Structure formats: C-alpha cells, structure tokens
Structure 1
Amino acid sequence: MNTKKLYYWRLLCFVILASLASCNTNNNGDDLSINNGKLKLSFSKENGSLIVFQDLIENYEFLDEKKTLELPWEINFNHAQDSLYEPLDFEYSKPDSLTLVLKWGNFKGEENKEFAVTAVINLDKEKALSYWKISLVGTQGKEINSVVFPKISGFKDLGQEKLAIPNIMGELLTDPRGILSSRKSENKRLDWVYPDNLSLQCLALYNPEKIGLYLASNDTHTFRKAYSLNLDKSNNFTYQMSNYPSFDANSNSYSPSYEAVIGSFKGDWVTAAEQYREWGSQQEWTSKSRFKNGLHPDWLEETALWVWNRGRSDNVLVPAAALKKRLGLPVNVFWHWWHGASYDEGFPEYFPPREGGESFINAMKLAQQKGVHSIVYMNSFQWGDSTESWKTENASVYAVKDINGNLRSHAYNIFTGNSLTNMCMGTQFWKDKYTSLSESAVNIYGTNGVYMDQACMSRVCYDKAHGHAIGGGNYWFKNFGKLTDQIRSKISIEKEPILAGEHCNESWMPYLDLFLTLQVSRERYSGVGQWEVIPFFQAVYHEYAITYGNYSSLVTPPYDELWPKEFAPENQEQPLDPIFNKQFLMEQARSFVWGMQPTISNYHSFLETQRKEEIDYLMSIAKIRYQGLKYLLHGKFLRAPSMQIPEEELDISKLSIYAGRKGESVTAYKKKYPLAYSGAWKADDGNVGIPLTSISEKHMLINFKIDTNDYNISSNGEVYLINSEGRKLLTTYKENEVIVEHQLKPREVCLIEIIPTL
C-alpha cells in the first residue's frame, strides 16, 4: 500500500473511531447535540448545561451565547444540612440520533456517595418539541422538597414578547421581561402552580411575528408542580419547572412519571393552545369528561342564564323566576349566603338555612315548579376555626399541616378577622363530613346540587397520620375524585343534582359538571392591570367542559346580614354609577363570544327599568346564544377571523360584588377596549358559528374574510345571519373564500353561520 493510500486508510479509521467514541458513555466524544430537522439542542461537555436551543426552520437561536453554564437541575432538601455540591463526574451517551443521556455523580460528602442524577432528553420525531425526564438514585434518608428540572438560563429577548398562561381561564402579559425588570424589589419572578391556579400544563412565551417558546409538561396523573420565569441581576432570563416528590425515607430513587416539554413554534397563544389541545384531547380526562359523556341532567345544558344572588330565597329565587318568565328561556340560580352561618367564617355550619328549614324547602319546591333550578354554595375544604364544631368535632386533627406541623389558616372575613382553616382532602374524615353536608343539601333541603368553592385548587399536607403520601404528589386530586364519587353515591338523582366548582382544570373534568371561570370580570376584582384576559382553557377544552359565571353586576355590593352591623353600608345593592354600564356590556360580550353560559350577579327586577338597555342586551345574548348551542356550548374553538374593530376608552370599576362596607367607594380606571367582540366555533356537523356583538351606541360596519382551509371546511357554501330579527341568508361563498360584510346595529348580538356544501 502506497503512502497516499495508507494516509486515507488511517483517516477513514480515525473518522470511524471518532464516530464510535461519540456514542460512548465517557467524555471523549464531541457530539452532545441532537437534531430532528426542526429543532437542535446542544449541551456543554463540561457540566451538561444547555448551550444551543435552535429552531432550524426559522434559523433562530433562543439562547444567549454569553449565558452562564449552570446545571440544568437543582435539588432542594428539607434540611439545610442535606446539601449537594457540584458533582465531580459528568458522563453522557447518545443511544440514538434523537436522544441524549446525561449523568452526574461523585458528589462530595460520604452521605452523597451513592447519589446520582440522570437526565434523558429526546426530540420528537416529527415536531419541534423536546422531552426532558430526570431520575435520582441514592435518595434514601433524604427529604427532598423539590427537584427543579429543567432549569434553563439565558433565553434571549424575542422582541415584542408576550406571555400566555392558563391562569384559571387564561391571561396574556405584554413585555414580561420589561415588567420584571422594572420591579423595584429583588423578586423579579413569575411563578404558577399546577394543579391550582394553572388549569393546564402549558405556557407560551412568544413574539407573534417572529418565534415562540412552548413550555409544558405531559403529566397524565396530576402531580403537583410549578413553573416559573425569573430575571436575575445580570438580566439573565431563566425558565424552570419544579417537581415535588413525596417524602419517603425508605425510597432510594425518584423519577417523575412525566416529562417536561419544551419546543418552538411560530404564532401566538392560539397556536400554543391548539398544540396543547392535540395532546390534551387524547387524555383520559377528556374521554371521561362528564359533559362529553352526558352524565349531567338536561337542565344544565339547557340553562340560558344564571342568576348569582345572595341571601334569603325572596332575594334569590323570586327575582330569578321573574327573569325566567320575561326571558322565556331556562334561568337557574347560583346561590350564596343561604346558609345559617356567617359567610367566610362559619363554615361548615351551613344547616339549617338562615331563613329556616321549612321556609327554605318550600321556596325551593315553588321555584322548581316554575322551572328554576338552584345550586348552593359550600366551600370544598375550609372550616372556620372559631366555630363550635371546630372544637367539638376535633377538626384540627384532620386539617392540612405544613412542613413544621402548623395549620394552614387565612382570615378571608375582613369584618370579624376570624379565620378559615384548610381541611385535608386526603382524610376520610373530611370526605365523610363534606358528603354528609352535600347529602343534606340535596336530599333534605331539596337543592339541585352543590357549588364546591375552591374545588380546582390543591394543598400540600405533611401530616403522617392522614394516610396519604407526605409533601408533594397527587393525593389531593385523587381524593377529590373519591369525594365526588362518594357524594354522588349518596344524593338523590330525583333532584337532578350537579356538582359545580370554582375555577377550571383539565383533570377535574371527569368529576365536576360545571366550572366557574370569573376572569371574564378580571378588571372588576383586580382593576386594570398589565394582564389581559384570554379564553385559553376554552380554546383547549370547550367541548369537554361547561364554563359559566362572571362578576358582572349593575349594583353596589350586598352585605351579609350575619356580619357585624357596624360595617354594613347604607346603599346596599343600589345601581352603580351609569358611567360603568359599558363595563357590564363588555363582560357579557366576552362571555358570549368565548362560549360560556351567561351570568348576572346581584340581579333585581328594578334593573329592568333603571338599567333597561343593559338588561335588554343581556336578554339578547341569552336568546341568540340559545339558537347556536351546537357552536357555543358543544363547539370546538377556532381562531376568530381578523377584523378591524374600533376601540373606546371605557370607565372601569373595581368593587367587590359581595362585601360592601361603610365608607367603601369604587376604584375607577380608564382603559381602551374593543367596541365589538367575536369568536369562532366548529360544530360536530362541520358547520362554523361566529358569534359577533357590539357594545357601541353607534352603527358599525364589519368586514372580514376567511380562507376555508383554515377551518377545514369545503370550498363552497352559504352564510347565514341569526339576530333578533330571525335567521336569513347573508351571502354565498365559493373557491375557498368566505367574504362577510354586516352592518352591526348599536349593541346588536348576532351569530354568523357558515354552512359548507357537502
């Protein structure tokens, strides 16, 4: 063999050996990258820090090249002495072209001799998604508060950033990085817990014109976890997911059953919601959804309007029955302050009702004869620690305990200062207690169900005597399911009862019939701020869960008759200043186009004359919605068509709807809002419904175009208009283009139907 051939032969051998070495488990390889043609990830050979996160389609690198090389995980122990130093050993392997295995070991300290951390990161075969899973060994004897993984620092500013989160229903923040940077405190962090304030396991940080980060997890068993974004003093932006193991001194390992999901997308929050829906709609919570499986009574679906009133039956059932007669459609009641105990203080001493058992039962029977159904308030896990029953039933034994053995209490009642204490959902004692209360509400007092306040929240309990895992886990959610099963085994089906809950959550869909989502009225309870309300939850799960409710009210707050008299205001439930009327319209418009059952808070018959235009508008919404239930109740969320909508600066009130007190005044704001609202929903038969409404006193010309491919409907068809005048053909369309032009009358409510030709 001549010298030249020998040279090339040796070079070929070198290439082969180098390639083999890159798949070895030692640190001699050079390839710590994975690439699926859409996404490329590269990790540091020094410590496994992520150093490249690149969208290959858009040719965009998300990470700052100057980022610090921090470990992609962090472990926090219960005791300060249980600490880990930097691992001395780091190994990696590449089992296949889409998978990396990273392993850290040889930690300092004899107590950490067997401790090791392994991370497996792999790329989706078809999508711009990566999956991250962590495992720990050598954990015996250690109490781990949290395992932070992944922890990724150095995300570059995307420019014109927006952050979408499913905080209860959904919220959108513009310029999150700038807002954190402007904080004067050292806390420059945004964080959320699932399941609790987060109803889904997904965040989206994006520039709608450029690129976006999809940040999620694929937990199908509802383990408690947290997500956060943090801006440090060096302006370094970090995303992390915190996992919460249960304390188990005998266990020598921990590995979550789920993965973190991190990906890239181009679009906006709707794009992210559609991607999450593709996964979420395949999970057990949708296949077992009570709504999807028709496990609720017919009257729930038939509800045209909810009246959310408080107090005795003549202040609740009587006006609801009158409203039902006027509307000509089913009106039902969401009832607070019916109970014998003071609100936010005397729970769970609900019985007998404050107006007396006989009066309550007779009023309920009369309302049901008129077709009005009622669900009554009962908090799902709070017990007033100033009540007599707290002592006589030894309730503290079964209450949630924090890591130091303390009770978790909070004084919601600003008038008495008395606290409510969290009861542990994992105890049979509390499940039995709440079941007996629900049984009494339905079987004895004749209600049509229970509204379980704070239902879609969760708590962490460290009481070893309760029989559940200690610390993190999913025992709260699992025991809530057991509770609802137990309740339904005891309550009479003759009353056609339902169980409703506060907030919404994907995992609760097999257990609750109805979800209260109040963010439609976010401004009314938190004022005008930096967050904008979006229907994130409905975009993912509308056809699997019925949502309702808002704080939309036209009067000043009521005051519980059982609270201290000295704080009672003189102008209870009197009409608010009419400058805030348009806020009411805006809240009702949101509910309509976002596919929610309409609700009015603190309704009274005098509003029919004193706030006639606003009540007439609400009646129109209820009537038009009722003609489009296949879209607005059963339909699948679609992106609303793009329209040019004028805005107007509105007067916004921040005022409690149920806690008026002496000297309290409205906090007023001004902010620009759209004067028209729209949505888009696809029915099971393939038709598309576009709810459209104006809150303006002026006529408004609406023009929009739709590409039928965007809605996956046929290229030809007809377009109809449903409004107060009836249903009529508006136009026809062909060649994949729907062109709609409609002159909206002042405060008109309508539904545009697109009927494809089959």
Structure 2
Amino acid sequence: MKLDKNAKESPGKLHEMPCTTGEAQPGSSPSKPGMGTITAATDIDAKGRMRWKDAVLSWRLLLGDGKTELQEVSPENLVLAKSESASGRVTLLWQREDGLSIFVEWKEVGDEWEGKISYSGVPEGIYVEQVIFPEAQIPFQESGRILLPRFQGWIVSSEFLRQYGLRRFFGTMQFCAVLQGEKSYYFACHDPKHCSKEYEYNISGAGDDSVLTLKYIHHLPLSKELAPSGKLPYSVAFRTFSGDWYEAARIYRKWAIQQKWYLYGKAKKNPLRELSLWVWNRTDVNIVTLPVEKIQEDLGLPVAVHLTYWPDKSNTHDYPLYWPPRGGVDAFEKTMRRLKDKGIHTMVYLNGVNWDLGGAFAEEGKASGVVQRDGSIPSSTYPPFNDHPLGHICGEIGKFHEALSEQIDLVIRHGVQGVYLDVVGLMAIFNCYNPLHSHAPGGGSYYADGYHEYLDTLRSKYPGICFATENSPEAFLGKFESMLYLNHGQERFNRCCPPFQAMVPAFNAIYHGISSQYGTYTTIDGRQPVDRKYWPKDFPLIWKEEQELDWQTVYPDQFFFEIARMIVWGLVPSIHNLTMEHCTSEKYAKEYTFLKDAVRFYHENLEFLFDGDMLKLGEFECEQKEFLFATRMVLTSPENLQTIKAVYPCVLHSIWRAPSGDEALIAANCTWEEQTFRYQERKYQIQAHQFMKIKL
C-alpha cells in the first residue's frame, strides 16, 4: 500500500505545542470527508477482506477450552461462502467443513461504518475466547501518531510503536485514532456495558511506506450459552476524518453523550462543583491538615484535602484493612470534625481493588481475587520496597468488598466526608477465571457491573458521602464525584518527548462538566513527601538533605507551568505536599501567591472551567521558550532524576462554551515576563504569572 506523498499535516496549535518534542496538534476545522459507499464486489477480495479507501478490514477468532493453547480461525483458513455489497451495506459469510460459520455485516450509519460479527457451529467443548474485530491495515506516515484511550488521552509516535509495539486494555474511553492530517482514521467500540477488551498496534515497513496494523481484541465469557453460537454483543465503528486529537474526540462525543453514563452523570448536580482547590497531603492527619486550614483561611473559598499514608502501618500492608489511624482514633475524629466545621472537605485513601497477598487478609482475599487462565494469581509490587505483593479483584462482590465496606464505615463514622477508592478507575486489566466466582470465566462486563452494584450500595447506605477514584473512566461517570488525574504533569512521567509523545485533554473535550477532576505531583518547593515512620531507613527514595537541590532556581518555571496547565485543561487546581512553611515563608511567597491567584481565577470562572464545553482552540500565536522539568514524583530516587527540556508556548490557552452559550478564551502566562499573544487577529498583553479571560 503506497502512501500519498502529498498528504499534509493539518495546521493548528495545542494548548502547549513543543517544537522539539513532536507533541500533538489539533487540526483545522474538519471538512466532512464523506464515507462513500461500497458499490462493487471488487472492493471485497477473494478471502472476504473488505478494502475501503486505503484501509483493509478483516477479523480473527481465537478458539479454546479455557486451558490449552488457543487456535486461530480467520478468512485465510475458511471458505468465503457469501459476499454481498450494495449501497451502504456489506454482508459476508465464511464457512468450514465441520459447520463452523462466521457472519460479518458492515453498514453505513451517517459518517461511520458500523460492523457486527457473529458465529455458529463451534465444536462441542470449545469456546470463542477472543474476537479480533476489526483487524485493520492502514497506510501509515512516519510522522503519524496514535491517540489512545488512556488517562485523558495519550498520543504515541511511530518511534514508540517500532520500539515497543503496543497492546493494552481499554481504559478511560472506547476509541482510538490514527492521526495523520487529512488521512486520519477513527475506530471505536459502541459497547454500553464496558466489556473486557484490548487494542493492539504494530508497524511494518519503513518510512512513509509503512503499514499500521490495528486490532481490537474482545474477550468473551466462556459461557455454555455462547459456546455453539453467539456474537460480539456490540458493534464497532470506523471512519476517516481530517484533523487531529480534538476532532477524533468530538466524533466519539456524538455517540458518548447518548449513553447512560453520560446522561446519568450530567443529570446529577455534583456537590463538589464549588471546590476550588484540592490539597494532597500525606502521613499524620493531625499535622498535615494544618496548612490546609491556613490556605482555606487565606482564600475564603471551598477547599478539599486528600489524605494518604493516614493508617498507622506501612503503606499497602494488609489491604483492604487500614484502621486504626496514626495519632489515635480520638485525635483523628477530632481533626475530621474540626475541618468539616470549617467547611473543608476531607477524603481519605482506601484501595478499592488490591489485596495484600502477604498480610492479614491474604487467605480471605483468594476468594475474591482474580485467577488467570493458567491458574496463577496476578500481583504487583508497589511501592518498590514493599515486601507484600498486591493481588487484584475482578469486581464480583465478595469477601474483599465486605472487608472494604467495614473500613469505609469506620472512617465515615469518625467524621470523614469522602472516600477515595484507588485503582477502580483504571478498569479491568485482567480477565478472571476464578472457579469460586459466579460470573463465567474469561471476558465480560463483570468488572464494571460489579463496581456499579457496589457503588450503588455504598450510596444507598451513606447518602451525602462523596466518592473518588483514580483516572477518568467514562464507565463510572456520576458514580464518583471526583477523579484523581495526574498525567497532565506529563513531563514528570517523561511522557512528553519521543517516543512517548504527549498527553492531551481528549476526555475533557468529550465529558467535561461532570466530575471534579483533580490531582498533581506539583509541589511548591520541588520536594516530595516521604513516610519516615514506615519506609526503610536506608531506602534511596528518602533523599538526603545534601541531595536536595534548590529546585526553584534549577527549575524556575515548572511549578507555574503545571498549575497553569491544570487551569486551561479545566481541571481543579491542586497542590501536593503543602506545608505551613509554604504558606508563611517569604521564600515561597511568589509560588504561594500564584497558587492563590490560580484558585481564585478558577472559582470566578466555574461556568467555563467546570461547567463548560471545551471548544477547538483556533488560531493563537505567542512566543515560545524552552522549559525545564524535573521528573520527580513521590517514588523517584536521586539517581533516577532526569531533566526534561521541552519548547512550549509562553502563554497556555483553551476556549470554552458555558451552559449559557457564552464563549471565552482562557489564557495563562507561565513565565516571569510580560507576554503578548494574538487571537483572531487581535493582540493582547498578559502580565507575568497571570491569568486572563477574554469573552468571545
């Protein structure tokens, strides 16, 4: 497949476009490409693979008995028994001598092709364990990029794919896009139940003669009802388009806003809407909440605190058992009540998915835990010094959730107003074959179904209590009032430069205005918190004082840039590891003032920055400069510290439409100097470290 050498990247700019890192650009306003229709049988080859424009679409099934090696069935080893194409519709039937039949239908619906696949005649004792549909081959330019449904949106480059390949479970959304200007491709799953599925990308060939192979891998339950005949219980969709990540997100939005999770979430009034700052502090709540009270007093605005490392034990030990808190139960309750009286929203960390394989819950956890196809129990070790690996829960309500509920009841009875359930929002990353569970082994929707049921039970029992989780999962919109999101600080993760490319706010271009999205590793002084009581004393994550840098001097812009990006992305301003020194010392006065200015600006513009719909950025011009970022997070050791250099605009911006219909440009100057920018041929001045709203 030969690429058109005249294909061009669409012009445009991102909120922050690094010249040297290859970060994503939104395209110009998309022209409606039109899908065209299949009008001749020559568009179907002898094996039944459908060629549309430059793409070739096919499928594969993987059959097995749940234990032994999977066997592949594809158009290459079946006979094409039927091939019909008419205006806007293609039907294909393959058969095998033993009676196995595969039926595929492609139908033109608006600007998209929607595909369905079903099967019958599966031999006795055999299941269709995986459906790969579609398997698409697409001409791929070396400058092309892939938008993936991880976090708010993750863009990777051809370099990344060539080095690593890519196969992951779907996360926050159910679409991907191949971004290459006027020859971009969009693929989605119209799955209302969030069944277990993965995406896979690989590149073959070289340069602009490369071919990208995309696979959507759907895991089916090993159910006797589906054994002889069945179907993928939802359709897939694809189309071409002209544009970039924003255009792809808005295509998906057309389907997404019709779904129950969006309608449910949008219909609810989020009680946390007025929150204007989240503080993420760790260890003894009786100490680390004092600066929260200070900044709330200085602001006079609603503030929330997310508390981690609060139990009196090593972090991750004995999950899901946490109680008692450090400092004693009485002191804990007294602090929670005092904060509530002051109007500060309190939330504590609990893990909603992981259980300690080496702790007090080890044996009980096995009844609830994931068991893989080979009978093994998957586990992860976090943090790296943890001597207790963590198992995973599949979502089915059981012993784990009973124990977790007891912990939730304890913290709520002692004055906590919100509970953070970690990991739930990452969605299913394992299929479960635990014979003790009632769900069919293999794939299915039991993860989303189980946690929907569990959250509904919690809400019924604890009206007025708010819940949060990690990531931005569409499956749980409205089920969680707030969502912890960290990857807007992509430089700390070293995800802004090739081969990783960039994070983009695709989720907010689709779903903004439902959840209170917060979270950051940004600190005022550049230092990260440590748990000196329970971390190993000689562990390198505990930095010695002589290893600490003058972070404000070495990385003078990082704090300001990260706070500004939160604002223009429509996230709630957040700060990590806030101390009383940060709030009172002249050394940090500029940073503390900027943080308060950001919070006040956000609060004054909630109709745009919480309620608003993210619009296309339009033509925006300003100076650019090289910014320096430290890749330091909580678990970064001194020898692993890196400096990221990236060229970004000096003024970050976004455009929003409020529910009233009003539109506004939001601008933030990340630099120490006054800046000039131009929007729609008008010139504006913005002072150093200032925010600006321009009504359009």
- 520-529 vs 444-453, which moves further: 520-529
Matched, 1:280 2:256: yes
- Structure 1: distance between partners of 2:330 and 2:169: 44
User: Which residue pairs with 2:469 in the alignment?
Assistant: 501
Matched, 1:48 2:48: yes
Q: Is the 8 A contact 2:278 2:575 kept in 1?
A: yes
- Structure 1: distance between partners of 2:361 and 2:502: 42
| CA spacing shift, 1:104–1:62, aligned 2, 3 Å | closer
Q: In the TM superposition, what is the alpha-carbon distance from 1:683 to its structure 2 partner? A: 0.9
Q: Is the 8 A contact 1:573 1:602 kept in 2?
A: no
- 2:489 alignment partner AA: S
Secondary structure class of the residue paired with 2:616: coil
Q: In the TM superposition, what is the alpha-carbon distance from 1:536 to its structure 2 partner? A: 0.5
Q: Is the 8 A contact 1:214 1:272 kept in 2?
A: yes
Alignment of 1:60-459 (within 5 A): 61-62=54-55, 72-77=59-64, 78=66, 79-80=68-69, 82=71, 84=73, 86-94=76-84, 96-107=86-97, 113-124=98-109, 126-127=110-111, 129-139=112-122, 140-153=124-137, 155-158=138-141, 160-173=143-156, 176-181=157-162, 183=163, 189-194=165-170, 198-208=171-181, 210-232=182-204, 235-250=210-225, 251-289=227-265, 292-294=267-269, 296-297=270-271, 300-391=272-363, 394-442=364-412, 444-456=413-425, 457-458=427-428, 459=430
Q: In the TM superposition, what is the alpha-carbon distance from 1:88 to its structure 2 partner? A: 4.5
Secondary structure class of the residue paired with 1:476: helix
Greater CA radius of gyration, 1 or 2? 1
Q: Is the 8 A contact 2:321 2:407 kept in 1?
A: no
Aligned match for 1:38, one of 20, 35, 38: 35
- Structure 1: distance between partners of 2:332 and 2:548: 22
User: Which residue pairs with 1:695 in the alignment?
Assistant: 670
Q: In the TM superposition, what is the alpha-carbon distance from 1:179 to its structure 2 partner? A: 4.1
Q: In the TM superposition, what is the alpha-carbon distance from 1:270 to its structure 2 partner? A: 1.0
Q: In the TM superposition, what is the alpha-carbon distance from 1:94 to its structure 2 partner? A: 3.0
Q: In the TM superposition, what is the alpha-carbon distance from 1:96 to its structure 2 partner? A: 4.5
Q: Is the 8 A contact 1:569 1:660 kept in 2?
A: no
TM-score (norm 2): 0.88
Q: Is the 8 A contact 2:55 2:136 kept in 1?
A: no
User: Which residue pairs with 2:14 in the alignment?
Assistant: none
Q: In the TM superposition, what is the alpha-carbon distance from 1:573 to its structure 2 partner? A: 9.2
Which deviations, in whole Å up to 9, do the C-alpha atoms of 1:481-533 show, x marking residues without a partner?
A: 01111112222x4xx42000100111110311111111111211336532212
Aligned match for 1:591, one of 560, 566, 569: 566
Percent of aligned pairs sharing the same letter = 24
Q: In the TM superposition, what is the alpha-carbon distance from 1:89 to its structure 2 partner? A: 2.2
Secondary structure class of the residue paired with 2:557: helix
Q: Is the 8 A contact 1:245 1:471 kept in 2?
A: yes
| CA spacing shift, 1:602–1:400, aligned 2, 3 Å | same
Q: In the TM superposition, what is the alpha-carbon distance from 1:220 to its structure 2 partner? A: 1.1
Q: In the TM superposition, what is the alpha-carbon distance from 1:231 to its structure 2 partner? A: 1.6
Q: Is the 8 A contact 1:515 1:547 kept in 2?
A: yes
| CA spacing shift, 1:573–1:499, aligned 2, 3 Å | farther
| CA spacing shift, 1:88–1:690, aligned 2, 3 Å | closer
- 570-579 vs 136-145, which moves further: 570-579
User: Which residue pairs with 1:643 in the alignment?
Assistant: 620
- 1:668 alignment partner AA: T
User: Which residue pairs with 2:7 in the alignment?
Assistant: none
| CA spacing shift, 1:576–1:348, aligned 2, 3 Å | farther
Q: In the TM superposition, what is the alpha-carbon distance from 1:607 to its structure 2 partner? A: 2.1
Which deviations, in whole Å up to 9, do the C-alpha atoms of 1:260-315 show, x marking residues without a partner?
A: 111011112111111111111111111111x5411x43xx1111111001011243
Q: Is the 8 A contact 1:118 1:135 kept in 2?
A: yes
- Structure 2: distance between partners of 1:43 and 1:189: 30
Higher RCO structure (Cα 8 Å, ≥6 apart): 2
- Structure 2: distance between partners of 1:39 and 1:221: 30
Which deviations, in whole Å up to 9, do the C-alpha atoms of 1:674-698 show, x marking residues without a partner?
A: 2111111111111012211101122
- Structure 1: distance between partners of 2:159 and 2:488: 26
Matched, 1:743 2:685: yes
Alignment of 1:470-485 (within 5 A): 470-485=441-456
Secondary structure class of the residue paired with 1:377: strand
- 2:507 alignment partner AA: F
Q: Is the 8 A contact 1:632 1:681 kept in 2?
A: yes
User: Which residue pairs with 2:24 in the alignment?
Assistant: none
- 637-646 vs 603-612, which moves further: 603-612
User: Which residue pairs with 1:582 in the alignment?
Assistant: 557
TM-score (norm 1): 0.81
- 230-239 vs 379-388, which moves further: 230-239
Which deviations, in whole Å up to 9, do the C-alpha atoms of 1:379-434 show, x marking residues without a partner?
A: 1111112212324xx22222110112211111113224321111332133223222
Which deviations, in whole Å up to 9, do the C-alpha atoms of 1:208-241 show, x marking residues without a partner?
A: 3x22111111111111111222124685321111
Q: Is the 8 A contact 1:160 1:207 kept in 2?
A: yes
Secondary structure class of the residue paired with 2:459: helix
- 2:377 alignment partner AA: L
Q: In the TM superposition, what is the alpha-carbon distance from 1:71 to its structure 2 partner? A: 5.0
- Structure 1: distance between partners of 2:469 and 2:78: 50
- 1:190 alignment partner AA: L
Quote the RMSD (CA, aligned, Å): 2.3
Q: In the TM superposition, what is the alpha-carbon distance from 1:466 to its structure 2 partner? A: 1.1
Which deviations, in whole Å up to 9, do the C-alpha atoms of 1:537-579 show, x marking residues without a partner?
A: 0000002333111221233222222222232444499963532
Q: Is the 8 A contact 1:225 1:242 kept in 2?
A: yes
Q: Is the 8 A contact 1:427 1:467 kept in 2?
A: no
Which deviations, in whole Å up to 9, do the C-alpha atoms of 1:102-148 show, x marking residues without a partner?
A: 111125xxxxx121111111112x32x11111111123421333111
Aligned match for 2:592, one of 579, 602, 615: 615
Secondary structure class of the residue paired with 1:565: coil
